Structure 1
Amino acid sequence: MAKTKIVVIQLKEIIYTVIFVALGILLILLLISMFWPDKNESAPTSGNLYTPGKWTSSIELKDAAINLEVVLDKDHINSVQLINMDETVTTMYPLVQPALEEIALQLYNDVPIDQVKLSEDSRYTQTLLVEAIKTVLDKASATATPTP
């Protein structure tokens, strides 16, 4: 005849087991939600023209460099300015700042970069600036992958 074994389970052990199982399930759900790719954080949608942020480019002028900064929204150019411009560059190339201001006014009014009208007085300077802005916009295009 088989001997019957009696197993005694205390209520305290059942409660601890249920709590640990619930915490384990909660931990698994938390890890899944943290590492699951989110639709909003993936690549920019096709409706965006640019990746928002501050984008920079450098323009070489003989012995000097001019840094150009463009601040972008997803579909608009907010700001175009020269940053860290040395006083000698300002003295040697006095048309750079006014030429950039003329271009920036057109860009702020949503004129595409290819349709910016260049003035006859500073055509070379404005062409140089437009090319630098195009370089920045190419880097910031929504289809391009941002570099860290």
Structure 2
Amino acid sequence: MSSKTKIVVLHMKEIIYTAVFAALAIILILLLVFMFLPKNKESKTNEEKYMPGVYTSTVTLNNTALEVEVTVDETHINSIRFSNLDESVTTMFPLIQPTIEDIAEQVYDSQSLDNIQLSEDSPYTSQIIVNAIDEALKKAETTK
């Protein structure tokens, strides 16, 4: 009875190298899969897209035309201000500058005109300014 026993000798160094290369191959495959998977399409459609630039709309207060200037890039509202606010208008309407600054701060934080808290001191002026900003943003929106 002859038994044919075979002895296999494995070097520990070769086993470690094989395990390390197998782990690196798995990590590389996972990285490639995550890089080339399509992104979530819902997040792109909910994000508003603008044509970068400066857009204006007009507000008339006491026969004086004020231009609300909105500066946007592709996805963000960067600046909201009056472009031709002079001293006579600020004298007649002293709350107009603080009102637009308050609204602009809220828009910068939320990047939207939704849920804007209107000023209790001048709610009608605040609403007029919000409408003017909305009009300027409609000019900036790109069609899909």
TM range (shorter): 0.5 to 0.7
Partner of 2:62: 62
The CA deviation at 1:48 is: 5.2
The CA distance in 1 between the partners of 2:64 and 2:111, in whole Å, is 30
The one-letter code of the counterpart of 2:120 is E
Question: SS state of the match for residue 113, structure 1?
Answer: coil
The CA deviation at 1:86 is: 2.1
Partner of 1:127: 127
Whether the 8 Å contact between 2:77 and 2:111 is mirrored in structure 1 is: no
The CA distance in 2 between the partners of 1:111 and 1:55, in whole Å, is 16
Partner of 2:29: none
Partner of 2:101: 101
Whether the 8 Å contact between 1:54 and 1:72 is mirrored in structure 2 is: yes
Question: Runs ≥4 in structure 1, deviation > 2 angstroms?
Answer: 45-48
**TM-score computed with the length of structure 1 as normaliser:** 0.62
1:19-38 alignment, distance < 5 Å: none
Q: How many pairs does the alignment contain?
A: 100
The CA deviation at 1:67 is: 1.1
The one-letter code of the counterpart of 1:136 is A
Segment drifting more, 113-122 vs 52-61: 113-122
Question: SS state of the match for residue 130, structure 1?
Answer: helix
Whether the 8 Å contact between 2:76 and 2:111 is mirrored in structure 1 is: no
Structure 2 segments unaligned to the other structure (5+ residues): 1-43
Query: RMSD of aligned C-alpha atoms?
Result: 1.9
1:1-148 alignment, distance < 5 Å: 49-143=49-143
Question: SS state of the match for residue 118, structure 1?
Answer: coil
Question: SS state of the match for residue 103, structure 2?
Answer: helix
Structure 1 segments unaligned to the other structure (5+ residues): 1-44
Whether the 8 Å contact between 2:54 and 2:71 is mirrored in structure 1 is: yes
Whether the 8 Å contact between 2:95 and 2:122 is mirrored in structure 1 is: yes
The CA distance in 1 between the partners of 2:125 and 2:133, in whole Å, is 12
Whether the 8 Å contact between 1:76 and 1:110 is mirrored in structure 2 is: no
Question: SS state of the match for residue 120, structure 1?
Answer: coil
Segment drifting more, 81-90 vs 129-138: 81-90
The CA deviation at 1:111 is: 4.4
Greater helix proportion: 2
Deviations 1:14-35 (A, max 9, x none): xxxxxxxxxxxxxxxxxxxxxx
Deviations 1:75-105 (A, max 9, x none): 1110000112122111111111100000000
